[in-house]
Amino acid sequence: MTRFDPARFDETDGAWLPPESTPEPAPQPSPHPAPGPAHQNPGYQGAGYQGYGYQDPAHPGPGHTRSHGSAGIGSQGTGPRPGPVPSGSPSAPTGWRRAVDTMLGRRASAAEVRRRNLRERITQPVSGDYRIALLSLKGGVGKTTVTVGLGSVLASMRGDNVVAVDANPDFGTLGERVPRQTTSTVRDLLAARPWIRSYADIRLHTSQSSSRLEVVAGERDPAASEAFTDRDYRAVVETLCTHYGIVLTDCGTGIMHSAMDGVLSLAHALVLVSSPAVDGARSAAATLDWLGLHGYAHLVERTVVVVSANRPGAASIDMDELKRHFLARCRAVVVIPFDEHLAEGSVVELDRLRPRTRDAFVELAAMMADDFPAAGGRHAVPAAPDALRAW
């Protein structure tokens, strides 16, 4: 016979180890003769464990699909079936852990409760599509790195499609932070727009990381580059919103280039990236001032400030004071610690990040997801003009 021993539950993997086998007791001689065939029960086949399945309701199986609503721009459509979640990723299912806790009467630790809370916030459904713009007034503060880190966590933990688009008019590097699967750029996507009918058509113009984050690269050829205008950006976002639940935009440095009007007009929320230095904090504060004075005060209220440490060592300013300063104006502040893998400036892989860095990106993703339910309500933004839809 077999038995399940609570001591043989693997806390790391959240699963039972193979059960120990106990030897069957030696047969004892019976004082009565063995029954003949007429006394045997042919219907009895023995009893055993058939196993118990547990499906986490927050994580539907691979056959689950989402329907995009019509909030904001973009038409209704259904994205492809999400791919399998890589083992060991931040999105590993927790259903068995919960089942075992219930069976053993064990109370979850504070860390487990916090992880579950973060997961439930990040995986909540989003109505229609949700657009996040990441910007900074000062270059070299890690804006593109934060775009990839945030997008990677969202893509790895959610079941819908997540895409990041490079809207930097000055040869942005977003396309270099994921494995390149195509030479197509945002210009190629614009040129192919009249023939795009399905997700597979768009997929020809994106590169995908191991986290499932897709990226539309910016134009890198100086001879072929043209100004990325407000009209261009609106057309790209309208195309993407049909098949992607979350669209992140890696903006250029500054807020005065030609595409920024479209970026800010179509964004549901902002991520303002700053460095842990006096000049970085002043630039971020100046950005908030500019937004408030130019008709985007509603975005200031829904801005999450990210302080990204791009070098090791202690910050040059009082971080607690910096957080208090921004929390008086914005929704949240998240600090991304220095990480050697991010400092390489190459392809970003979540499993190569230090635990503290990975946790910070998960916290940032949860902060952004807290705004999802209202995307079709008070956060709705005007649809693209009819003339643009026909372009």
Bridge partner list, 167: 251
How far is the CA of 252 from the CAs of 109, 112, 138, in angstroms? 43, 38, 10
| pLDDT for the residue numbered 94 | 55
Q: What is the CATH number of the domain that holds 136?
A: 3.40.50.300
**Does the predicted model carry a pTM greater than 0.85?**
no
| pLDDT for the residue numbered 314 | 66
Q: Is residue 102 part of a domain?
A: no
Question: Torsion-angle region of residue 179: left (phi > 0), alpha (psi -120 to 50) or beta?
Answer: beta
User: How do the pLDDT tens digits run along the chain, 391 residues long?
Assistant: 444 444 444 555 555 455 555 555 555 554 444 444 433 433 333 333 233 232 333 434 433 333 333 334 543 344 443 444 443 444 444 566 666 666 666 677 888 899 999 999 999 998 889 999 999 887 788 999 999 999 999 999 998 999 999 988 777 889 999 999 999 999 999 999 999 999 999 999 999 999 999 999 988 766 555 677 889 999 999 999 999 999 999 997 777 777 889 999 999 999 999 988 888 888 899 999 999 999 999 999 999 999 998 778 666 678 888 899 899 999 999 999 999 999 998 999 999 999 999 999 999 999 999 998 654 443 444 444 443 333 3
Q: Is residue 214 part of a domain?
A: yes
Q: Is residue 21 part of a domain?
A: no
* Domain assignment of residue 185, given as a range: 127-389
Residues 308, 272 contacting (CB under 8 angstroms): no
Q: Is residue 22 part of a domain?
A: no
Residues 190, 232 contacting (CB under 8 angstroms): yes
Among 147, 122, 190, 128, smallest CA distance to 381 is for 128
| pLDDT for the residue numbered 110 | 87
Q: Is residue 20 part of a domain?
A: no
Number of domains in the chain: 1
